[in-house]
Amino acid sequence: MTPPRTKRISPASLERRLRALAFDLRWTWCSSAARLFAAVDPVLWEATNHAPLEVLRRVAPPRLAACGEDRGFRALLAETEERRRAYYAATTWFQRTVRGARRKTRIAYFCSEYAVHESIPQYSGGLGVLAGDHLKSASDLGLPLVAVGLLYRHGYYRQELRADGTTRVLYADQDFAEHPLVDTGVTVECPIGTSLVKARVWRMQIGRIPLYLLDADLADEPRVNRELTIGLYRGEPRQRLRQQALLGIGGVRALAAVGETPDVFHLNEGHAALVNVERLRVLVAEGVPFDEALARVRASTVFTTHTPVPAGHDRYAPALAARVLRPLLGELGLPARRLIDLGRERPGDEQEPLCMTILAMRTSARINGVSALHGGVSRAMWQRVFGARTPGEVPIGHVTNGVHTRTWIAPEAEALFERRLRPRRNGGGPRDESWSRLDRVTDAELWELRRRLRRRLVGFVRERLAAQAIRRGADVDEVAGARATFTEDALTIGFARRFATYKRAPLVFRDAKRLARILTDAKRPVQIVFAGKAHPADAPGQAFAQQVHALARKTGFHGRVALIEEYDMHVGRMLTSGADVWLNTPLAPHEASGTSGMKSPLAGGLNLSILDGWWSEGFDGSNGWAIGDGPVADGRARRDARDAESLYRLLEEELVPLFYRRGKGGLPMGWIARMRRSIESIPPRFSAHRMVAEYWDTAYGPAFDDSRG
């Protein structure tokens, strides 16, 4: 198709128009926008980890001028701007379906991290990915939501692997000028202990959703206060509690300062529990009696818990909590004991710490886990908090997580499905019915998609391994070997997630000789690519990464197993779209939900997973494979042995034979049938659109009604 004739665009005008697109993070789920920014300077695009503003700052003036003279580039710019215009002109699902007073709802969403894009490293893992997808789907659906978080100078950390596989933790200052941040001009003061912490309020626009981020790293402020937003999940308990106070107390004050007046508050994990303490303070200051204020706060609050392990919930010594919260206690007119009792399983036990999750639950009327299985685990875990005789009496439900389709779908898959299935681009609802039209895509087209994405992944793995080798000073033979690793037509398994020990990354290596036989079969080869980070203080998790690194270099695995360092959203997209099989081996029921396996079917991938988290709902017997039989009360060693045996048996007897069994035209018809079932059954159910709409129906809407009554 010949690009339409458009006039040359001056460099100044072109930069202005590109910056306007870059400051609206809707571009992160618009494929034409990503192509447009990449076209400005493809080398810079990769070097900056896909950061449009940094590309525009660093691009050579002659190159930008050439873009303005190029007809194809100008056509792509016009197309991207038109798509943006059409997005905001469309009538949203919320506008079409919500009537009456509920249309005036304003929802405030609080979370400690947000994964919006890999170029904005304000996230550590799944919680942030979930939060970012939540905001994007809220924008697409038109939900009246505003979000609050902290702006971290170091983000999380950058992971490098030494030659021996040990983790090198690197912290780099983020240049906020390279991020699409707008200074609101507002600074809030947050009383924390004996300090009055000042924080600047920035705004980031996620489509229709404003995300307000608090930044305490201000010149002339005390170092102890500036370090509250230095990085994610760092420091000892005192600093963590002070950081959570800034998120909760400072976040509520920030919303008031910028003129936001929410009706409903959603606390995404216990880090945000102090939101409700600040809201209590505001109501008491207005003359509302404490018990009435607590009832009003509870009625208008939704709380989501993500942690199925008791040890994973933040707990703070009573004396520390009393010191940090002293200013609020004074304004509330409460003794520390009474407030801390709201965060104890046994109120009155002055030795029991303050648990942020319990505090959030006791001050929220609507509480949910993030999968059906996790909801049940949470009811059993917190039975004592609610004085319930049985877990069934505990008022904790569930809203199963989902993923934002257009963020995670591969461009190649998006192009094929848009051409054949004709999904609604703007104004769509919670369920995308276009997936039911998958019969319009031929078997040959599906298999060619799978082959293209696998080839792309193999190229990515080779270049990443080569770059890792070069950084370590490897010789030319090792670098050349890295660029020759993997094969484009071999069955490819992906494993990428946080390297927490319960996720059992090395489980597949339990019987190394047996695995080596599977991987090195000359007629039916298999290859596995790993990626993942452990918390900087998680030595056992880092040891898992080191173990995988060492095994990848051993005879029998070399060239068939790879470990990619610096797991981020870009690596996640490449692996989930490129792998034929997505492997997940958590120790059930420790996976609250998980979302990476929901992304793989968007590109025709198949899940091979323990029946934990979302997969216990998603598996139907024909859309992937289940390892083991789900949660079983047994010792760790026995469970590892049993699950590893199940995994090997599935690989040897089902997956590998099915993948290599070719029929007419060289197509693996049995494998393609499972691909179809995976695509038809998982993306429609496990989307963030469905999740956000479910929050509206079961939590936000009812909470709004209660807040007015």
pLDDT digits (tens, 9 = 90+) for 658-668: 999 999 899 99
What average pLDDT score do residues 426-440 get?
94
Query: Is 565 found in the same domain as 635?
Result: yes
Percent of the residues in the chain that have a pLDDT greater than 70, as a whole number: 98
pLDDT band of residue 426 (cuts 50, 70, 90) is very high
682, pLDDT greater than 60: yes
633, pLDDT greater than 80: no
How open is the CA angle 236-147-18, to the nearest 5 degrees?
110
Query: Is 477 found in the same domain as 329?
Result: no
Q: pTM for the whole thing?
A: 0.96
- In DSSP notation, 606-638 reads EEEEES-TTHHHH--SSSEEEETTS-----HHH
Q: What domain count does the chain have?
A: 3
Residue 286, Cβ density class (10 Å: 0-12 exposed, 13-18 middle, ≥19 buried): exposed
Query: Is 105 found in the same domain as 56?
Result: no
Query: Is 132 found in the same domain as 32?
Result: no
Query: Is 113 found in the same domain as 64?
Result: no
pLDDT band of residue 41 (cuts 50, 70, 90) is very high
Which residues, other chains included, contact 337 with Cβ-Cβ below 8 Å and sequence gap of 6+? 318, 350
Query: Is 542 found in the same domain as 453?
Result: yes
297, pLDDT greater than 90: yes
The whole-number pLDDT of residue 435 equals 96
Phi, then psi, of 46 in degrees rounded to 5 = -75, -40
CATH number of the domain to which 669 belongs: 3.40.50.2000
Instruction: Answer yes or no: is 230 within a domain.
Output: no
The whole-number pLDDT of residue 499 equals 87
Which range marks the domain in which residue 74 is found?
Answer: 11-90
Write out the two tokens for 81: 């701007």
Instruction: Answer yes or no: is 153 within a domain.
Output: no
**Residue 194 CB coordination number (10 Å):** 9
Percent of the residues in the chain that have a pLDDT greater than 90, as a whole number: 89
CA dihedral 258, 264, 270, 275 (to 10 degrees): 40
pLDDT digits (tens, 9 = 90+) for 51-61: 999 999 999 99
As a whole number, the mean pLDDT across the chain is 95
Query: Is 109 found in the same domain as 26?
Result: no
What gap in Å lies between CA 241 and CA 237, rounded to an integer? 6
What gap in Å lies between CA 650 and CA 654, rounded to an integer? 5
pLDDT digits (tens, 9 = 90+) for 220-269: 999 999 999 999 988 789 999 999 999 999 999 999 999 999 999 999 99
Instruction: Answer yes or no: is 323 within a domain.
Output: yes
Query: Is 268 found in the same domain as 135?
Result: yes
- In DSSP notation, 267-326 reads EESGGGTHHHHHHHHHHHHTT--HHHHHHHHHHTEEEE----SGGGS-EE-HHHHHHHTH
Q: Indicate the residue among 90, 108, 129 that finishes a domain.
A: 90
**Residue 205 CB coordination number (10 Å):** 16
1, pLDDT greater than 50: no
Q: Indicate the residue among 40, 66, 90 that finishes a domain.
A: 90
**What is each CA distance from 707 to 269, 364, 395, in whole angstroms?**
21, 12, 19
Instruction: Answer yes or no: is 427 within a domain.
Output: no
Query: Is 655 found in the same domain as 527?
Result: yes
What gap in Å lies between CA 370 and CA 691, rounded to an integer? 10
Instruction: Answer yes or no: is 160 within a domain.
Output: no
Instruction: Answer yes or no: is 267 within a domain.
Output: yes
pLDDT digits (tens, 9 = 90+) for 61-109: 999 999 999 999 999 999 999 999 999 999 999 999 999 999 999 999 9
Residue 81, Cβ density class (10 Å: 0-12 exposed, 13-18 middle, ≥19 buried): middle
The whole-number pLDDT of residue 634 equals 76
What gap in Å lies between CA 184 and CA 203, rounded to an integer? 6
**Residue 514 CB coordination number (10 Å):** 15
Taking the CA atoms of the chain, what radius of gyration do you get in angstroms? 25
Element (H, E) at 460: helix 443-471
Query: Is 454 found in the same domain as 388?
Result: no
The whole-number pLDDT of residue 238 equals 94
pLDDT band of residue 631 (cuts 50, 70, 90) is low
What gap in Å lies between CA 625 and CA 229, rounded to an integer? 42
The whole-number pLDDT of residue 632 equals 66
Point out the least confidently predicted range of 131-145, 162-176, 482-496, 516-530: 162-176
Crossing angle of the two packed helices 71-89 and 11-22, in degrees rounded to 10: 40
What average pLDDT score do residues 10-36 get?
97
pLDDT digits (tens, 9 = 90+) for 554-589: 878 989 999 999 999 999 999 999 999 999 999 999
pLDDT digits (tens, 9 = 90+) for 316-375: 999 999 999 999 999 999 999 999 999 999 999 999 999 999 999 999 999 999 999 999
Instruction: Answer yes or no: is 220 within a domain.
Output: no
Instruction: Answer yes or no: is 529 within a domain.
Output: yes
Q: Indicate the residue among 62, 90, 118 that finishes a domain.
A: 90
pLDDT band of residue 537 (cuts 50, 70, 90) is confident
Query: Is 137 found in the same domain as 246?
Result: yes
Phi, then psi, of 553 in degrees rounded to 5 = -100, 0
Query: Is 554 found in the same domain as 532?
Result: yes
Smallest CA-to-CA distance from 661 within 649, 653, 669 is with 669
What gap in Å lies between CA 137 and CA 109, rounded to an integer? 13
| CA–centroid distance for 590 within its chain | 18
What average pLDDT score do residues 157-165 get?
90
